[in-house]
């Protein structure tokens, strides 16, 4: 079962103002990692099969997807967690916002406010 964890983060604007937000992360246990890796492998091999009828392009697509399958599955297996999003108030425009995160994002992260487009920095809170 994947577990969802919310951690507190600081959202810092360019002018030094700071607000607090919460970062949502999904953690995977070992069996979940194996399941996700196998699903990724299956998807890529299905894509390899699916590109068989494409004339000419199949010479590249079929071996490409076939080789990429185990590699992508390995990368998925290595990922013990994925970042989801950060929720909080923007220190610049004071609006409540949600910033989408990339699965492999690490903190600190530079991004932009989805409301006012000002640059923001997401920081971990040191205890
Ligand atoms: Zn803003």
Q: 27-73 pLDDT, tens per residue?
A: 999 999 999 999 999 999 999 999 999 999 999 999 999 999 999 99
Q: What is the pLDDT of residue 127?
A: 58
Q: Ligand 1 centre and the CA of 108: distance in Å?
A: 18
Task: Express each pLDDT in 90-124 by its tens digit.
Answer: 999 999 999 999 988 999 999 999 999 999 999 99
Q: Ligand 1 centre and the CA of 121: distance in Å?
A: 12
Q: Ligand 1 centre and the CA of 127: distance in Å?
A: 26
Q: Ligand 1 centre and the CA of 61: distance in Å?
A: 43
Q: Ligand 1 centre and the CA of 119: distance in Å?
A: 8
The torsion of the CA quartet 34, 44, 74, 79, rounded to 10 degrees, works out to: -70
pLDDT band at 78 (very low <50, low <70, confident <90, very high): very high
* DSSP per position, 66-94: HHHHHHHHHHHHH--EEEEEEEEE-TTT-
Task: Give the helix, strand, coil percentages of the chain, each rounded to 5.
Answer: 35, 35, 30
For residue 125, pLDDT over 90 is answered with no
Considering the entire predicted model, what is its pTM? 0.78
Tell me which H or E stretch contains 59.
helix 58-78
Residue 12 half-sphere exposure, CB side, CA atoms within 13 Å?
14
The backbone torsions φ and ψ at residue 97, rounded to the nearest 5 degrees and listed phi first, read -145, 165
For residue 126, pLDDT over 90 is answered with no
Q: What percentage of the chain has pLDDT greater than the value 90?
A: 93
């Amino acid at each position: 079962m994947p577990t969802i964890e919310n951690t507190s983060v600081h959202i810092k604007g360019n002018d030094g103002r700071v607000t607090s937000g919460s970062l949502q992360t999904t953690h995977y246990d070992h069996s979940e990692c194996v399941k996700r890796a196998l699903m990724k492998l299956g998807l890529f091999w299905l894509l390899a099969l699916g590109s068989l009828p494409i004339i000419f392009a199949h010479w590249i697509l079929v071996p490409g997807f076939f080789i990429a399958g185990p590699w992508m599955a390995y990368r998925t297996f290595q990922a013990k967690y994925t970042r989801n999003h950060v929720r909080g108030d923007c220190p610049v425009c004071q609006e409540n916002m949600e910033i989408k995160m990339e699965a492999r994002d690490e903190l600190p992260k530079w991004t932009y406010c989805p409301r006012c487009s000002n640059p923001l920095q997401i920081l971990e809170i040191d205890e």
